[in-house]
Amino acid sequence: MIPEILHSEVLQTLKSEIGNQVKIISVSPVSGGDINQAFKIQTQKDAFFLKYNFANRFPGMFQTEHLGLDLLAGSKTLRIPKVISNGEADKYSWLLLEFIEQGAVTHKFWEDFGTMLADLHQNSNELFGLDHNNYIGSLHQSNRQHVNWFDFFIEERLQKQLRPAYDKGLADKKIITHFENLYKVLPDIFPTENPSLLHGDLWSGNFLCDDNSRACLVDPAVYYGFREMDIAMSKLFGGFSSGFYVAYNQAFPMSPGWQQRIDICNLYPLLVHVNLFGWSYVGSVKSIVGRY
């Protein structure tokens, strides 16, 4: 069910990591992703998660995802799937992780998730951004570092998505003017905070509940940024349980007015969706920036 060269590469990787006695018993597809092919690799000992794509389609995607997962795991907060390895085989690139068995979502799960995300966000850095670029979904994400949030948010988040949207005819000059007006008042909108380590793409499809009812983060788009970006993204497609936000605020209270900043933070993922999926998201962008 996977290319023979990948099967051989994965088997050799597993033998190197867990011993020559390992055997692949089954390979079964895993649903949920729309960018890469994903499979569960079952051995006689453990299960693993493999995703792959053509190497020339998204260069560096799995290498930077590996780095992002390791960075999140280093915070020792939420559960992060262990990375076994990543690499290239012939025309394919691949990433091999531990397989997370899913469990039942409980009220306590949401409270613990909120508390642990707050713990993650207390990991800081001197600069906003990251020492390498990565991906958000299938789009390149620029993480060029800045001293303050406003410049980073404008130059590496909004502008990087607004330009291609304009080039595609999905954003007109009127929208550009509204964004320029918004840029002038951003220092009055956002409070001054230290950079926080972010998941970067925190919606319901990018976390799991493991068999111990513990939150596990997957598919990160990590960088050091304004922590309400993760909170806002979590609300973009319906939101998480209220217990999540209560627990987060108890552990690491957000500055007053955070609810009013959600729309501004979500301009970035909305622009990403404009560039990925087109006109259906343009109206949401217009309704937010049209206030400025």
- Is residue 269 within 8 Å of residue 283, measured between CB atoms? no
Go through the chain and tell me how many residues it has.
Answer: 292
| Contacts with 214 (C-beta within 8 Å, 6 or more apart), sequence order | 78, 79, 109, 112
Q: Determine whether 46 is an active site residue.
A: no
- If you ran DSSP here, which 8-state letter would residue 85 be given? E
Active-site annotation holder among 201, 219, 230, 263: 201
Which three-class secondary structure state does DSSP give residue 241? coil
User: How far is Cα of residue 91 from the mean position of the Cα atoms in its chain?
Assistant: 26
Which three-class secondary structure state does DSSP give residue 106? coil
CA distance 87 to 16: 14
| Contacts with 123 (C-beta within 8 Å, 6 or more apart), sequence order | 75, 77, 196, 197
Q: Active-site positions?
A: 201
